[in-house]
Amino acid sequence: MQTALYGPEGFFVRHRPRDHFRTSVHASPLFAGAIATLLMRIDEALEHPARLDLVDVGAGRGELLRAVLAALPGPTAGRVRATAVEKAPRPGDLPSTIGWTAKLPSGITGLLLATEWLDNVPVDIVEKSETGVIRYLGSDDPLDPPDEAWLRRWWPLDDAPPGARAEIGRPRDEAWAAAVRSVERGLALAVDYGHFAADRPLFGTLSAYQRGHQVEPIPDGERDLTVAVALDSLGSETLPQREALRLLGVDGTRPPLALASTDPVGYLKRLAQASAAAELTDPAGLGGHHWVMRWV
């Protein structure tokens, strides 16, 4: 999974993610507007530092950073140091105001953001045999003690039937912990889909996407490989996206029909915004994602 996603010929090195799957970033500019609002609130809480960091981990081609900077008031945008963390080469059209690096920066003061990054952190999959033995998928090797401990704590298969699978989220927990440590003052925020102990999927969640379609999860570097996040093992506060966005002013409520007769243009604009907000907050879709937050 590591090589297929992040190797020299890996998916995220050679392909633009937006060509293969749709995230909140691509769904509507309202998402970037909400992040801009959040960043301004963080700025206020930090008493307006001279340098305000905005770091996007798994930044794709910098779409979110561009949109957030455009949504910020000029004086605030002028203090923002925007940095994309991504394995792919820097896009040629990326504004010079946005930094580009393959490694997490340190000493962040502001907001570290990771939108649908954790589900692409490579993890091992285990399966329960007919005799009740749990082994790595496709291997007869016994589990490493740290993986066995994680499984026992977060995704026990003791009562599961043969064939049940689990995804060892330990590397993902460690990646998130490293991201949090990179923040000196401010907020670490991951936005992703996943599950909790009460609703672990019986046969795991490994899936793949290519050109907008769900396809067979083959590690060939030509498709996105994704595994839903065990959200409770991350050790951080979580909030459904629909609730988080509403707190930031994104509301899918339709405007009153009476407005159409007094201000038809305004009505249409608000209706379009409500439709976009509804997609971002739909509990059966993007609104069912969770915001994982750690204030430092």
Contact assessment for residue 240 and residue 217, using Cβ atoms and an 8 Å cutoff: no
* C-alpha gyration radius of the chain: 21
Q: Where are the domains of the chain?
A: 2-123+169-251+279-295, 124-165
**Are 61 and 18 in contact, with CB atoms under 8 Å apart?**
yes
Q: Measured between alpha carbons, how far is 184 from 180 in angstroms, rounded to an integer?
A: 9
Of 72, 110, 80, the C-alpha closest to 98 is 80
Answer whether 72's CB lies under 8 Å from 54's CB: no
Q: What is the pLDDT of residue 20?
A: 64
Scanning the structure block, which residue is given the tokens 């570290």? Answer: 112
pTM of the model: 0.90
Cβ(65)–Cβ(35) below 8 Å? no
How far apart CA 286 and CA 280 sit, in angstroms, is 5
State the CATH architecture for 2-123+169-251+279-295. Answer: 3-Layer(aba) Sandwich (3.40)
Tokens 């285990």 belong to: 126
Residue 203: what pLDDT? Answer: 95
Ramachandran region, residue 122 (left: φ > 0; alpha: ψ -120 to 50; beta: rest): beta
- Please give the full DSSP string across 64-126, using - where no structure is assigned: HHHHHHHHS-HHHHTTEEEEEE-SSPPPTTS-TTEEEESS--SSEEEEEEEES-GGGS--EEE
Contact 202, 124 (CB under 8 A): no
Query: Residue 14 has what pLDDT?
Result: 81
Q: Is 110 exposed, middle or buried (0-12, 13-18, 19+ CB in 10 A)?
A: buried
Cα-based angle 31, 35, 114 (whole degrees, multiple of 5):
90
> 29-45 and 264-281 are packed helices; what angle lies between their axes, rounded to 10 degrees?
80
Token output for 241: 């996206």
What is the per-residue pLDDT for 255?
A: 78
Q: What is the residue-level pLDDT of the chain in tens, covering all 296 positions? A: 888 888 888 888 887 777 767 788 877 889 999 999 999 999 999 999 999 999 999 999 999 999 999 999 999 999 999 999 999 999 999 999 999 999 999 999 999 999 999 999 999 999 999 999 999 998 999 999 999 999 999 999 999 999 999 999 999 999 999 999 999 999 999 999 999 999 999 999 999 999 888 999 999 999 999 999 999 999 999 999 999 999 999 987 787 888 888 888 887 777 777 777 788 888 888 889 999 999 99
At residue 17, the pLDDT reads 74
Looking at the chain, list the stretches that DSSP marks H as alpha helix, in order from N- to C-terminal side.
Answer: 2-6, 11-14, 24-27, 29-45, 63-71, 74-77, 145-154, 170-181, 241-247, 259-262, 264-281
